[in-house]
A = this chain, B = another copy of it.
Amino acid sequence: MGSSPKTGTSPAVIRVLTVDDHALIREGVAALIANQKDMSLVGEASHGREAIEQFRSHRPDVTLMDLQMPEMNGIDALIAIRSEFPEARIIVLTTYAGDALCKRAMKAGAQAYILKGNVRKDLLDTIRAVRAGKKFIHAEVAAELASHATDDSLSEREIEVLSLIAAGSSNKLVADQLAISEDTVKGHVKNILSKLGVNDRTHAVTAALKRGIIEL
């Protein structure tokens, strides 16, 4: 790369799409990219549905995707885009360092997961790396990921139960809402506590919130 005079996929500008419900963030990304000779912002979207439309019409080389947006969240948009365009290169750019969120995003086909906090140098480097086909997970998140490497993740049902508990339901109420017996709920709760390594339901909820397993 460099001496050969040719087609030049490398020297071509990287076409970027930014997806974030916060206008300020999109503005920041736009400003950052405007200063790069090898990049160009080709579109913006403020939620998942719009992201899909923008992707269809612009076919960006790299997409910066926030999670937690109105209308349609980033994970769902990620899945939708990747199912339609399997070669899509998508970087998750979020505030949350939860390991569960990161796992879901990477499983959904994200190429990188970085935090809005320490973006200074990471963002631009990551865009270039991802365009080149590499993957990247922010160190802070990677540490989270590593610290929970051993413990198995919650099942769909367990997440459902835990969400209802977080919303203020007792075991009996959860049982009613899910149309199962209270004993079954207790069984689920026991597994949840064990998997999260906590001793009571309240701590289970806060631990799951920290890790991005459930939302408020």
Contact = CB atoms under 8 A, between A and B. Distances in A.
Interface of A: 21-32, 95, 116-117, 119-120, 123, 165-168, 170, 198-203, 205-207, 209-210, 216
A26 B24 CA distance: 8
B24 A202 contact: no
Contact of A203 (B31, B95, B167): B167
Contact of A206 (B30, B95, B168): B168
Nearest to A123: B24
A95 B22 CA distance: 9
14 contacts: A22-B28, A22-B95, A24-B28, A24-B116, A25-B25, A26-B28, A27-B29, A30-B31, A166-B202, A166-B203, A168-B198, A202-B205, A209-B216, A210-B216
Given A31-B31, A168-B198, A23 B203 contact: no
Given A22-B95, A27-B27, 17 more contacts: A21-B117, A22-B28, A23-B120, A24-B28, A24-B116, A25-B25, A27-B31, A166-B202, A166-B203, A166-B206, A168-B200, A168-B202, A168-B203, A168-B207, A170-B200, A209-B216, A210-B216
Q: Lowest 3 A-B CB distances belong to which pairs?
A: A168-B203, A27-B28, A24-B28
A206 B203 contact: no
A167 B207 CA distance: 8
Q: How many copies does the complex hold?
A: 2
Contacts of A30: 31
A168 B202 CA distance: 6
A11 to B, nearest CB: 26
Given A24-B25, A25-B25, A202 B32 contact: no
Contacts of A201: 202
